[in-house]
Amino acid sequence: MLRVGVVGCGRWGENHVRALSTLPCVLTGVADPARETQKVTDEYNVKRLIDYRELLQEVDAMVIAVPTTSHFAVTLDCLNARKHILVEKPLTLSAVESEELVSVATEKNVVLSEGYLFRFNPVVEKLSNILPTLGKIHYITSRYIGATKPPRKDSGVVMNLAVHLIDILYLFFGTPVGMTGSVSHVLDTEREDSALITVQYEHFPALVEASCCHPEKMRDMWIIGEKAKVYADFLLQKLVIYPFSTHHSTSHQLVIQETVEIARCEPLKIELLYFLSYVESCLQGKQRINTNRSAPNITMEKELLGLVKERRLS
């Protein structure tokens, strides 16, 4: 079985440790200098290390869940040691650094995957199957909102929250013709705490709302199509179809709802299982490492980073 180490044992790193402890792999160790890490490693009966580099000789793959500001240095060390990597999103906060990591992964012939968790939400798969039945898309709205206490200090809501929903749009519809939006700095002058982003496609707009100040916790999306309308709740893993065409005669009628049956699951476990299976398949020579399949969504992140840093989100 694949030997896996985890670097970073904060809230999300702990989730990785918990999930990996139930999957077909050998959880070799967890590296994090924080004292609180010992409680986690004791609970899951796994070795704790202070320095992640001590793990490099003992593992085949690493899961990296350190703060975003440390992604580049840690990931680069692990790639240079020829370890297969799953790193949490965003890959880095610099397009140049992200492209360098992809280049090194290609040179070393190792997997570099990025933790876009929503891709493994069962609602996303169902939604992708339903899209062709909707006809022409009129518009899309989506939300990733909810109060965060305390707000993250390594990145704002654009690269921390909105990026998930925009990744889904890229997955479904490809590269948009442009993105514009606005952000708010209520809690922090350096990192945005709310954002409204319009992802413009050739024939329709998609609005993304992200906020760590909102009283409601929602991760959802409306897709308003010509032949049907769909509501997707990624948090509750619920999908509802409103099967009616947009005409003057139906705009005020009571609409019948069809709830799509979803086999609920924990996306994190599915994501990790996919990563483990893909790496094992590559190691066994059953398939070659496909950079396009494993590499992070550089195009999308690069555009978002540009919006933030160039102040086009104003």
Q: What is the pLDDT of residue 7?
A: 98
Average pLDDT over residues 163-190: 91
Q: Cα-flanking dihedrals φ and ψ of residue 126, to 5°?
A: -60, -40
How many CB atoms neighbour CB 184 within 10 A?
A: 14
pLDDT digits (tens, 9 = 90+) for 249-278: 555 455 678 888 899 999 999 999 999 999
Q: Is the pLDDT of residue 235 over 80?
A: yes
| Termini Cα distance of the chain | 49
pLDDT digits (tens, 9 = 90+) for 185-232: 888 888 899 999 999 999 999 999 999 999 999 999 999 999 999 999
Q: Are 79 and 107 in contact (CB under 8 A)?
A: no
- What percent of the chain has a predicted confidence (pLDDT) above 70? 91
Q: Is the pLDDT of residue 290 over 70?
A: no
Q: Cα-flanking dihedrals φ and ψ of residue 219, to 5°?
A: -135, 90
pLDDT digits (tens, 9 = 90+) for 97-148: 999 999 999 999 999 999 999 999 999 999 999 999 999 999 999 999 998 7
- What percent of the chain has a predicted confidence (pLDDT) above 90? 75
β-pair partners for 4: 27, 61
Q: What is the pLDDT of residue 287?
A: 72
3-state SS class at 6: strand
Hey, what are 49's tokens? Answer: 């290390």
Q: Are 25 and 274 in contact (CB under 8 A)?
A: no
Q: What is the pLDDT of residue 286?
A: 74
pLDDT digits (tens, 9 = 90+) for 18-31: 999 999 999 999 99
Q: Is the pLDDT of residue 155 over 90?
A: no
Q: What is the pLDDT of residue 285?
A: 79
Q: What is the pLDDT of residue 310?
A: 58
Q: 47, exposed or middle or buried, with CB in 10 Å at 0-12, 13-18, 19+?
A: middle
Q: Are 105 and 85 in contact (CB under 8 A)?
A: yes
CA 251 from centre of chain: 36
Is residue 90 reached through a cis peptide bond, with omega within 30 degrees of 0 on the bond before it?
yes
Q: Bigger pLDDT: 246 or 307? A: 307
Provide the H-helix boundaries in 64-214: 71-80, 95-108, 122-130, 157, 163-173
Q: Are 151 and 200 in contact (CB under 8 A)?
A: no
Residues 6+ apart with CB under 8 A from 12: 65, 88
Domains of the chain listed by start with CATH number: 3-115+268-295 (3.40.50.720), 119-260 (3.30.360.10)
